[in-house]
Structures are given as structure tokens and as C-alpha cells.
Chain A
């Protein structure tokens, strides 16, 4: 009993001391984190990490991970490729910028290089090196990644929003695919009457501004001019809105007001839709999942308007955090990824969905072997990014992230007078640019 009691007493005392040790250590650890001003690194020591998005073409994610493993094998640098939902990625990137900790390489969308310019490493040397090897970059890559004369991201690719349509439905409805935006309402009317409406998103989703910016610019409208003076409230914008109203009322159903990024894919895959604008994913997914349906799809290039042909480029770049401890290793990985065989393997895995930022890779066999994919190839020449015709900046990104332009169109098609919709957008854009 004595022995037992003694043991018990000692045990309690020992636990108390351990407990005191923990209590002394925890605040000390926390104090160290707070003093350093950065969150503890997520990656294991010596590990190179990449944060990207999940692609609609899953095979590309697998290829990227394969390349990560190959790079690790070649260099001995352990490499981790993380891919998450694209909406979560935006938040994760923001959190990493704030915490000054996280991954080493991040996938940048649109003008994010401008948004995070204080936290991105200068990669001008790498951009020049890749261009020297493969030829100059497309303009969209420069617009998105050159900030104050320095490359803060390496252009990585873009999606072209081309016409995706069903020739069989067009034939049955007696409609012809358009070359000009102004032909769309009449075409849509015929198709809707035949039971197969047309559609593009007029909602708070990325696909909306991919299409609606193209229409706005093709009619001569813009959010701001070259000097960043707000110009959304203009006769050209009014014309663009009137066109979208006509497209909506004659050719679409109400569902486009609630569409997400995948909705037009479902719209076409379901057999209901006859025409939309999208990258090649509708076709490529159909090829891999519903081959018979894929045969029924055709593509045509983007449309022109009174002010010419303009397209919104869904562009991507690769940035390296300035606070990364592996900046040189990150550059090595990007260099490795841009090696001829590796970059082409990525394009092959994506089935041509991701357009190359370098003209040199547009001769890829993935396009030559399937003429249906050729429609996307001339898009890079017409692509602009957020804020065009001004230089991209954080204000332009915020205008897009807050869906100001899609909301303007959505208001107009649901009954708000065009003038009012433009004035509301003008007020919002002015506030964003003033902030």
C-alpha cells in the first residue's frame, strides 16, 4: 500500500513538472512565432512546394505531379505539387501573402502578379532565358506578368473562349454560326424556338466576365481608358448591353443568371444547349467520357463586333514568393517545366485545353491531329486582361473579382434600365479605382 501510494504521489509530481514545462514552453513558442512575424513554414525543410488549381482536365494535374516527381529525381530536391479548387486557391494565395509563409511557387490568375507585386520575386532573368530558348512570349503573358518593368510571374498559359456549337441543331433550326456578335440574337432566336437555346453566363462567376468583357470590348466599351479614367458609362457600353439583352431575351433561358463556371459545360453535355462560348474543355471532356457526343461538337473562333475582335484571356502565370527559402530551386523547377518535352507533355495531357504562352508551342501535334481544336489557336492575338486598355493593376483585378461588369449586364437583362445599370457600374468602378 505504501509502495503503491508512494508511486502514485511521485507520478503526480512528475506530471505536474511536465505540465509546468509545457506551460512554460507553449508561450515561449508562441512568442517566437509572433516575434518572427511569420507563420511556421508548412513545408518540410528542403521541400519545394507548388500551389495550383484543379484543372477541368484532370489528366493535366497528374502530368504536373509526374513532372514534380521527375524534377525531384533529377535534382534531389523533394517537390510537392498541391492543387485545390480554384476559388479556394485565391483565398489561400491571399493568406500566404499575408502570413509571408506557405508554398514556394504559386499559380497566378489574371493580373494577380500586380495584386501581389510586393511579395513576388523578380523572375525577369528566367523570363528572358525561356524567351531566348523558345522565342518571345505572347502579349497576354506580358500584360499579366510585367509589373513596373519587372517580370513578377512567368506566363504559363491561357484559355481561349471560342464558340462551341452543335451543327446538327443549327441545321435543324436553319441557323448559321455567327462571325459577328450582332448575328447572335437572330441565330439564338431560331435555336431557342427549335428547343435548343444558346447560353453564356450572366452571373457572379468567372465565365461571365470571360464572355461579357469580350462583348464589351468588341463594341468599343471598356471599364477604364488608357489613363485609367472610368469610361464604363458610354454609348458603346450601352450598345453592348442592348446586344446582351437581345441575346438573352431571344435565345437564352433564365438559367444563365445562376450559372457557375461548369454550367455551360453541363448545358452542352446534357444535349439541351446548341451554342456557347468556352475553352475546349466541353469537347475534351466529351471525348474522354462521351465520345459519341464529342463528335457532334464543333468550334469556331471568337466573335468580332463594331470595334473589332477582342477576347478576354483567362491567363495564368507562375510566381515565386519573395519570402520563399527556395527561390533558386523554384526557378529550376519552372525551367524544367518549360523544357520542350515537358511543356509539350503538359499540353498533350490537357488535350490542348491550355494554350501556350509561347508561339513556339502552338505547332503542338495535339492541334494538328484534331482540326476541331484549331479554332483556339489565333485567340492569343486578340486577348486582353482585366483593365484593358489600361495596364493591369490591383484595381482592375478588384473590378473583376467583384463582378462589376457581369452585374451590370445581369441588372440590365433583368429589367434595370440600361442607363441605371451603367451608372451603378460607373459608381462602383470609380470607388474601386479611388481606393
Chain B
């Protein structure tokens, strides 16, 4: 109070305003303002811009005219887009399912006591920690049609004369991008599941053993139900990130061969930025939004139901 009186006041109005600004309510608003501004600038503004672009015939360098749902109608008649929808779902479901099963297995193994357990737990995070672009380039070399270390191994073992066309055939290319995505996301699943496993009270297992439960019954009736909340959150995050994944497919296949690995993000990039059709590119990316929103609602709904 003494400090307030010590400062020169130009007028009563200014003093009232200042007192109000220095109050807790105003301060609260001001503290959240930077975050809100960031969200407005980096999320809301680009999102609204994408919505506008998707209903316009904008091209690079030209904001275009409003054309209603023209881009969306066009896309539903575009075979490549329809294929990209199938690819996106295949890529997401396969990767998330593999990460779920393998991640759970890995977490169960890491939950056992063994020599070097702490080192292995740390090392297992490496694929997740390395920047995606960097590790994907590593995979690109391993899949290289000429110098593939996998093909070299297959040839040396006499299992294949020509090796596998990892990125040259549609089926193998899709397998390869799913494999890399699984490799990269697996540590996240494993570590989250491990955290969940560690928090399950040991008494539950002891009680089950007294009741004569075997390993499968303990896993089915204790481990899985106790891990369910963690599982849903991890699946939610992974599904969202995998569904909108760009760098793995862009670096490894660029949507090829014969457009067989294009997903929403890579197709939107090709159509919107490379070909300059911003409106149509934005419309492609907008298709991700309702799907991702649905994933979030379903998962959070299940979690709420579980809580109640």
C-alpha cells in the first residue's frame, strides 16, 4: 500500500484502472493471455485459414474465390483420394495394433528383474527420442534398393537371390512404412505400459495366487483391467499422431510406388504445396479433423465410463 501511495498518480480514473488491473482477476487473465495468444495464433488462426482455403479455389500466390463444397465433392470422386483414405486407416490401425501388442509384451518383459534392466529401459527409448527425420533416413538406407543391409543379409543367408523390394512394390512399401512407424512408436507404448504395470499393487497378484489363479488368469483379470486407463490414453495419442503422420511416408516413399502409400498428410502436401492447389490440399487435410475428433471423443468417453 505504501508503495502505491509512493508512486505519482496522474488522476483518479487512472488509479482506479490500475487498481483493477492489479487485482487478482485481471492478473489471472493476463497470465493466461500468452497461452491463449499462442493458441490463437498457432492453432485457431491456421485452422480457420485451412477451413477457408478448403472452400475456396485458392492456388499458391492467389487467395481464390469461395466455391462452397466444390473441393470436397471433387475429392469424393477422386480415386487417389479414396485410396489415401484406405491407406490412412490401414497405416493407422496396423501401426497402433502392432505397437499395442508388442508394446505390452515389451513392458511385461521390462517389468521382470534382470541384469542391466535399467540400461535396457533407457536404451529402449532411443527410437522415440531420435528425431523422426533422422531415424527414417537411417531406415531409408536399410531399405535402399541397391545397398539394403536387409537384402544383403537375405542374400548371404541364401534366403533370397534378389532380396525384397522394400519400397518398390505397393505391398512391401506399405509394410515398410508400418514397420518404421511401429519401431518408432513402440518405446512410447512400452514405457507407458511399464509405468502402469509398476503401479499395480502386488497384493492383488498375491491374493489371486492364493485363490489359485494362473499367469493367464492374473494377466486377464488383474493386469489388463488395471492397465486399461493407461492403454486408452496411449492409444488415443498414438492414433492421433499416426493418423496425421507425414515424415515417415514422405521420406521413405513420397506416397509411391504408384501412389500406393499416400496418406492424408502426404497427399495434402503433394496437392496443396507441390502442385500449388492450396484449396484442394486444405480440403484433404480437413478430412483428418472429424476423424481425429471422433477418436478423442470415443476414447475419453470410454475412460469416463470406466471412472464412473
Contacts and interface: CB of A to CB of B under 8 A. Distances in A.
A30 B33 CA distance: 14
A55 interface: no
A341 interface: no
B257 A257 contact: yes
Nearest to B61: A97
Interface string A221-249: 00000000000000000000000000000
Interface residues of B, number: 47
Contacts of B165: 254-255, 257-258
Interface string A287-300: 00000000000000
Interface stretch (B119-127, B268-276, B300-308): B268-276
Nearest to B53: A98
B60 A98 contact: yes
Interface string B240-272: 000000000000011111110000000001110
A23 B274 contact: no
Nearest to A270: B146
B3 interface: yes
B275 A254 contact: no
A16 B27 CA distance: 8
A266 interface: yes
B44 to A, nearest CB: 12
B162 interface: yes
Contact of B145 (A20, A118, A258, A431): A258
Interface in A186-206: 203-205
A270 B144 CA distance: 13
B61 A19 contact: no
Contacts, number: 122
Contact of B41 (A9, A30, A258, A407): A30
The size bracket of the interface on A is 35 or more
Contacts of B167: 258
A411 B277 contact: no
Nearest to B63: A98
A204 B37 CA distance: 41
Contact of A97 (B60, B270, B275, B280): B60
Nearest to A7: B3
A373 B201 CA distance: 75
A257 B173 CA distance: 11
Contacts of B80: 428
Given A97-B60, A98-B60, A204-B254, A90 B273 contact: yes
B30 interface: yes
> Of residues A26, A100, A205, which shows the largest number of chain B Cβ atoms within 10 Å of its Cβ?
A26
Contact of B275 (A95, A398, A411): A398
A258 B166 contact: yes
B21 A20 contact: yes
B169 interface: yes
A371 interface: no
Given A27-B37, A431-B78, A266 B30 contact: no
A272 B256 contact: no
B60 A116 contact: yes
Contact of B276 (A6, A20, A270, A398): A398
Given A95-B273, A118-B61, A394-B276, A255 B2 contact: no
B168 A94 contact: no
A174 to B, nearest CB: 24
B5 interface: no
Contacts of A118: 61-62
Contacts of A398: 275-277
Nearest to A30: B41
Nearest to B165: A254
> Of residues B2, B3, B62, B269, which shows the largest number of chain A Cβ atoms within 10 Å of its Cβ?
B3
A19 B238 CA distance: 38
Contacts of B168: 203, 254-258
Contacts of B169: 254, 257, 414
Nearest to A2: B2
B67 to A, nearest CB: 11
A365 interface: no
Contacts of B61: 97-98, 100, 116, 118-119
In the A-B complex, list the 8 residue pairs whose CB atoms are closest, starting with the nearest.
Answer: A255-B145, A204-B256, A257-B168, A258-B168, A97-B61, A258-B167, A398-B275, A119-B61
14 contacts: A16-B21, A20-B21, A90-B273, A97-B61, A98-B278, A204-B254, A256-B145, A257-B145, A257-B168, A263-B144, A263-B146, A266-B146, A398-B276, A410-B257
Interface of B: 2-3, 21-22, 27, 30, 33-34, 37, 41, 59-62, 74, 78-80, 143-147, 162, 165-169, 173, 253-259, 269-271, 273-278, 280
Given A95-B273, A118-B62, A255-B146, 15 more contacts: A10-B3, A13-B3, A90-B274, A94-B60, A94-B276, A203-B257, A204-B259, A253-B162, A255-B145, A255-B165, A258-B145, A397-B275, A401-B275, A410-B256, A435-B280
